[in-house]
C-alpha cells in the first residue's frame, strides 16, 4: 500500500480506497451474449426538447425553459433498431390521447406479440407508459413495463443513444430546410412537428446496421423502396383512385408540400393548402427547380400531427434573405509607375 501511494496511485488498484474514490465508476452495461439474449423485445423511451437555440436533452435544458419548447417523445426498439419520434402537444398525457395512440401504433407496426417498455423515472412519462400498456393489451399485445435505476442514465442507455442520433438527424434536416427557404422556422410552427417524425422515419428506412440491413427490413421483412425527396419541398401529388378528385374542381393532380411518409401504408404525406388538411398520396412528382421551395406555402400550413384536420395558429416565419455580394466595381489601386526605354522609343522622348 505504501509503495502504491509513493508511485502516485499509478496504476489504478480497485483495493485502494483513494483510487476507488477518484477513479471508480459504475459497473458497465455490456452487450449480452447469445446465452443471455433478451427473449422479449425491449422498447426504450425518452424525451428531448427543441427550442430556437437548438435541440436539447432533458438534462441539458433548464426546467423553466421546457414550457416554451417543443416536446418530443422518442422510442427505440432494441430488436429491430427502429426509431420513432413524435412531437407531442404537452409533456405527459394529453386530453386527446394522441401520444398513447402513437405508442400503440408504433408497437403494432413492429409486429411483436410481446414487448417490454422501459422508461426513466419521470412521473409524467411513467403515466404515459402505463396508459399505453393498457391500450396495447386491448389490441392483444402482451406488454409490461421495466423501470430504470434512479440517478443512473446508463440503465436507459438505448433511449439515450437514440435521442443522440435523432438530435443530429433533426438538426441536419432543419438546417437544410431553413437554408432552402432562407428563413428561420419557429418551434411552434406546425411543420416543426412533422419534421420530427420525418427525421426518425428516414433513419429507420435508410440507415444500415452492421449486418447490412435497415431497421425497416428487420421489422417488416423487406426494405423501404419508396423514393424520397427533401423535406418541405413543393411537389405535385395525384389523387387516389377511389377519392374521385381533389378540391372543388375535382382534379386528379394538385400541388402540396411534402412532409413525410406514412409508415403503415408507405404513402406520401402531403399538406394540401387548398383544403388546409393532410392528404396521403401513392404518387408524387417534382416541380421545376424555381418552384421547389416556397416560404408562402409553408406559412399557410395549419395542421399538426395531433390536429391534422383542425387548423391551428402557426408561428411566424422570419424571412432571412441570403447576403448578396456587392456588385459595385472597385477602383483598382494604382501602384508605382514605371517608364521603360521601349516606351520612350515607341512614344517619343518629348
Distance CA 190, CA 5 (A): 62
Q: Which residues contact 159 (CB under 8 A, 6 or more apart)?
A: 44, 45, 46, 74, 75, 76, 118, 119, 120
- Give pLDDT, residue 245: 66
- Give pLDDT, residue 233: 94
- Give pLDDT, residue 84: 93
User: For residue 218, with 0-12 CB atoms within 10 Å meaning exposed, 13-18 middle and 19 or more buried, which class applies?
Assistant: middle
- Give pLDDT, residue 152: 55
- Give pLDDT, residue 335: 58
- Give pLDDT, residue 215: 92
- Give pLDDT, residue 155: 58
CA 268 from centre of chain: 17
pLDDT per residue rounded down to tens, the chain (350 residues): 777 675 676 777 777 887 777 776 666 555 554 444 678 899 988 888 888 887 887 777 777 777 778 889 999 998 999 999 999 988 888 888 899 999 999 999 999 999 999 888 788 888 999 999 999 999 999 888 877 655 555 556 787 888 888 888 898 999 999 999 988 888 889 999 999 999 999 999 999 989 999 999 999 988 888 889 999 999 999 887 666 666 666 778 889 999 999 988 889 999 988 878 888 998 999 999 999 999 999 988 888 888 764 445 555 565 554 444 344 444 555 556 667 777 777 777 76
CA proximity to 317, closest of 149, 221, 190: 190
Place domain 36-161 in its CATH homologous superfamily.
Ribonuclease H-like superfamily/Ribonuclease H (3.30.420.10)
Taking the domains of the chain in order of start, what are their residue ranges?
A: 1-26, 36-161
Q: Please, where are the H alpha helices in 207-291?
A: 215-220
- Count Cα atoms within 13 angstroms, Cβ side, for 148: 26
- Give pLDDT, residue 265: 87
CA 23-28-34 angle, 5° bins: 155
Do residues 328 and 341 make contact, with C-beta atoms less than 8 angstroms apart? Answer: no
Amino acid at each position: 500500500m505504501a509503495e502504491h501511494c509513493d508511485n502516485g496511485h499509478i496504476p489504478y488498484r480497485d483495493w485502494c480506497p483513494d483510487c476507488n474514490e477518484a477513479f471508480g465508476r459504475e459497473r458497465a452495461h455490456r452487450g449480452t451474449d447469445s446465452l443471455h439474449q433478451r427473449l422479449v423485445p425491449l422498447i426504450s423511451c425518452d424525451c428531448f426538447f427543441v427550442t430556437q437555440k437548438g435541440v436539447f436533452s432533458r438534462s441539458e435544458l433548464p426546467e423553466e425553459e421546457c414550457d416554451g419548447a417543443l416536446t418530443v417523445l422518442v422510442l427505440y426498439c432494441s430488436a429491430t433498431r427502429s426509431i420513432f419520434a413524435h412531437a407531442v402537444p404537452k409533456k405527459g398525457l394529453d386530453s386527446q390521447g394522441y401520444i398513447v395512440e402513437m405508442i400503440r401504433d408504433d408497437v403494432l407496426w413492429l409486429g411483436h406479440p410481446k414487448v417490454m417498455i422501459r422508461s426513466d423515472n419521470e412521473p409524467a412519462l411513467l403515466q404515459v407508459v402505463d396508459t399505453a400498456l393498457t391500450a396495447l393489451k386491448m389490441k392483444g399485445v402482451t406488454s409490461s413495463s421495466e423501470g430504470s435505476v434512479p440517478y443512473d442514465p446508463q440503465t436507459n442507455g438505448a433511449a439515450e443513444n437514440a435521442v443522440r442520433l435523432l438530435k443530429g438527424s433533426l438538426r441536419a434536416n432543419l438546417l437544410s430546410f431553413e437554408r432552402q427557404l432562407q428563413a428561420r422556422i419557429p418551434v411552434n410552427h406546425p411543420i416543426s412537428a412533422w419534421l420530427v417524425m420525418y427525421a426518425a422515419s428516414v433513419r429507420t428506412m435508410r440507415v444500415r446496421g452492421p449486418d447490412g440491413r435497415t431497421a425497416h427490413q428487420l421489422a417488416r421483412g423487406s426494405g423501404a423502396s419508396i423514393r424520397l425527396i427533401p423535406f418541405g419541398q413543393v411537389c405535385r401529388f395525384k389523387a387516389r383512385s377511389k377519392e374521385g378528385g381533389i378540391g372543388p374542381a375535382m382534379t386528379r393532380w394538385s400541388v402540396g408540400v411534402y412532409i413525410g411518409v406514412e409508415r403503415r401504408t408507405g404513402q406520401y404525406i402531403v399538406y394540401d393548402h387548398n383544403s388546409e388538411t393532410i392528404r396521403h398520396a401513392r404518387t408524387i412528382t417534382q416541380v421545376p427547380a424555381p418552384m421547389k421551395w416556397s416560404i408562402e406555402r409553408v406559412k399557410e400550413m395549419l395542421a399538426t400531427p395531433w390536429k391534422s384536420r383542425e387548423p391551428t395558429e402557426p408561428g411566424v416565419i422570419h424571412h432571412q434573405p441570403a447576403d448578396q455580394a456587392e456588385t459595385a466595381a472597385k477602383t483598382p489601386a494604382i501602384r508605382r509607375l514605371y517608364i521603360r526605354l521601349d516606351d520612350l522609343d515607341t512614344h517619343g522622348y518629348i
